[in-house]
Amino acid sequence: MPVHALIVGCAGTTLTPDEIALFRDLDPWGLILFRRNCDNPDQIRHLTETFRGIGGRADAPVLVDQEGGRVQRLGPPHWPKYPAARAFSRIAANDPLVGREMARLGARLIANDLRSVGITVDCLPVLDVPVPGSHTIIGDRAYGEGPDMVAAFGRAAAEGLIAGGVLPVIKHIPGHGRAAADSHDALPVVDADRASLEATDFKPFRTLTDMPLAMTAHVVYSAIDARRPATTSRKVMREVIRGAIGYDGLVMTDDLSMNALAGSLGERTRASFRAGCDMVLHCNGKIPEMLAVAAETPVLAGKARRRAEAALGRIRHESEPLDVAEARARFFEVLERTSLAPSTGFAPTHALSV
């Protein structure tokens, strides 16, 4: 059965009969999980296995947003609480090498957590560069306030994930850092000139063009396309994402149900594919909405299929060796020493090493 260029969500901790029937008919490329879907390791493992069994694809991607800080779907008591990205640049203020080491190690530990329950894609790193006065939706999710620092720590995190057998997703291309609104609620418009965008916002993405997956920003860049956000703008896709940035990996949309986008879900889906996105993402697990998106979603084919296959080919069949207990102790010891450690609330009752 042909796979469709769609990543879907689900409503709860197990797939309902209606969801199973829908996914069997549709065969979406991937499934994304949220806090509502994550209870304990055995439950998530069963959920991911069930999803893969429906389409008969052992490598079907299962995604999650596991950044640390405010954005962490798997948390205590079964998984530790990780710090927000900004913690690593604070460590680096005293020791740049240790700061980058911790960014990689934290991501490597996250990959271990995820891979052990069947999650193979993490929507990390955030490569957005915030500026004074921008909305706090990015805030401490950013690795720093300059493009070079964001790129350096973003690469360290991405490499840590890949070493642990989990694919990174660079986001939100071509940059959400200047946005003065949360795109979950409204459409942000960035009025910076093209030169400023090239020098700052786009730079971390240019540095990580070798990464396999990217997620778009629901943001209007008036210097490039004053009418459409990046997700639905052919001009932004061609001139910036594929052009100035030079990204040739798989581009997925951010969640189509976010209020930044206008029109019906079907219209949003059509506009995303017309713009040149390879894959659309719908997260809330509402079946009527999924049906509306699916009706306008093509079979994964051509360049999009080749990019998807290339991405899955980056997953290591065996993770880089890791002494999990020693690595975890090292990671949180450094955070404690720099007074940046979150209260982990971690009480593992299962084997964490994979």
Q: How many residues does the chain have?
A: 354
pLDDT digits (tens, 9 = 90+) for 144-175: 989 999 999 999 999 999 999 999 999 999 99
Quote the domain boundaries for residue 312. Answer: 4-337
Average confidence score pLDDT of the chain:
94
Does residue 170 fall inside a structural domain?
yes
Q: What is the mean pLDDT of residues 209-238?
A: 98
Q: For 115-125, how does the pLDDT look when each residue is reduced to its tens digit (9 = 90+)?
A: 999 999 999 99
CATH number at residue 132: 3.20.20.300
Whole-Å CA distances, 306 to 1, 238, 248, 278, 312: 17, 18, 11, 10, 10
Residue 351 domain-assigned (yes or no): no
Domain count, the chain: 1
Could you tell me if residue 345 is inside a domain?
A: no
Catalytic residues: 184, 254
Chain-centroid distance, C-alpha 67: 8
From the number of C-beta atoms within 10 Å of its C-beta (0-12, 13-18, 19+), residue 105 rates as: buried
82 Cβ partners below 8 Å, 6+ apart?
66, 67, 68, 69, 72, 106, 109, 110, 342
Residue 286 tokens, joined: 């509402």
Distance between CA atoms of residues 192 and 75, nearest Å: 37
The structure tokens listed for 257 are 């149900």
Would 343 be classed as within a structural domain? no
Task: Answer yes or no: are the C-beta atoms of 247 and 193 closer than 8 Å.
Answer: no
pTM equals 0.94
Is residue 137 assigned to a domain?
yes
Q: Do the beta carbons of residue 263 and residue 292 sit within 8 Å?
A: no
Q: How far is CA 126 from the centre of its chain?
A: 8
